[in-house]
Structure 1
Amino acid sequence: MFEPVKFYGNLSEGIVNQIMQAVNNGEFKPGDKLPAERDMCIMFSVSRTVVRDALKMLVGLGVITIRHGMGAYINEVDGTEDVSRLASLLQISRGTVEELFQVREVIESQAVIWCTQNANEQDLRLLQHIVRKGKEVGDAGGESKLAILDAEFHLKIVEAAGNRVLLRLMINLLDLLGENRARALMVPGRQRLSVLEHETIFEAINQRDPELAHQRMLSHLANVREAIQSVEPVPAQEEWE
């Protein structure tokens, strides 16, 4: 069921992603017990500290409950409630745009790996269509249409990854970033670069190269973040008030 965590990023997050995917796929059902910590250390090829950090994250997400002396058990997971709870936590903490992008990087860098592994031919055709439309709109200079296509591209990747909870959370994040995303596309040259970066991400997905897709997604998001910072983005807390 599980495999050693590949060092695409944070090891604990890699474990969380595998367990959440197993829950989403029905391999784990509510009430099921997770393997013991020592067994997970062997399965994931990590230390006990890494496993414990992953379990803490899963508790925070509401995916598991730890019963002392008994182990960790899968909760009844409602994706909508989980996302609402996470969105509420973001609002309560009044996180900055920088913090929202950190969350987005965690979600999309993993989602693009799963997309590369799980996308079917229809998913690939739709992604290619969005990229082509982006080129056409970019050449015509349509910022508003390009912003819509940008959201469609990123949401389609998360959808093709096959994790419904991540998809709902991604929708919330794009909403929270709101005006800042559109303003980033107004930075001179950003529209053209965004289209080109989407194309390179799609090429990596189409080649079924998860590591390359992961690297290109992180590079793209870093560039978008830099563009947003250059136009003095609206603070996230103002959007939530």
Structure 2
Amino acid sequence: MVPGAGMSSAASDDMRSLYPSLYDGGADFDAVLAEVTRSTVEKAHEIVALRAEMCRRNAGRIAACARALARSFEQGGRLFAFGNGGSSTDGHAIAELFTNPGPGACPLPALALTSDVAVLTALGNDVAFEVIFARQLAALGRTGDIVVGLSTSGGSADIVHALEEARRLGMVTVGFAGYDGGRMAECGAVDHLFVVPSSSVHRIQEAQTTTYQVLWELIRRELDAGTGRAESPR
């Protein structure tokens, strides 16, 4: 297919500006390959450095958070994770980590609050989008349960409202944010806050993934060092 075929002139110009090499018959593909290689290596170095910085800043706090969450699970607590867009997939990944930990490990009760499309659309349409997670916690959450809210900006209203509702209910609150932490850092409702010091959404989400993976591993170690399994949910 010829680039731009069937497109309006404006759309074709937009495509040309985004992907100039597709329209340049004399493109130097060795140069393109070299640039892709350089960019990939640069991004790999960026995330390695960012992960190291997260460890330097948060190692003690991650360990403290793991101990607190392990105690909650031992006492029958459940985990609720939530986020918007890409962060919602991280919420699902967290829930999957705890409920399907692999051979020989006891599954732990965890749920991603973006799982029920009917509930999300009903609350968003009938009440307000800002309450789509807070209302679910009001119905499902109990004192001693755990919430994990994820946001790259830290400023998502629905995430902040949910964390505030969780605090009101006496739940253990964990927040993941980027930039300077945004409203999540200001609201006073987060017991354990992990801010990725970056303005790149891609690097923020990559570092957040590493952080909650490490957190999960430490929680498993805490549980193995104690009873070895969590109690059944209350």
**Shared fold per TM-score greater than 0.5:** no
Q: Could you say which structure has the larger radius of gyration? A: 2
Give the strand-richer structure, 1 or 2.
2
Report the TM-score when normalising by structure 1. 0.29
Report the TM-score when normalising by structure 2. 0.30
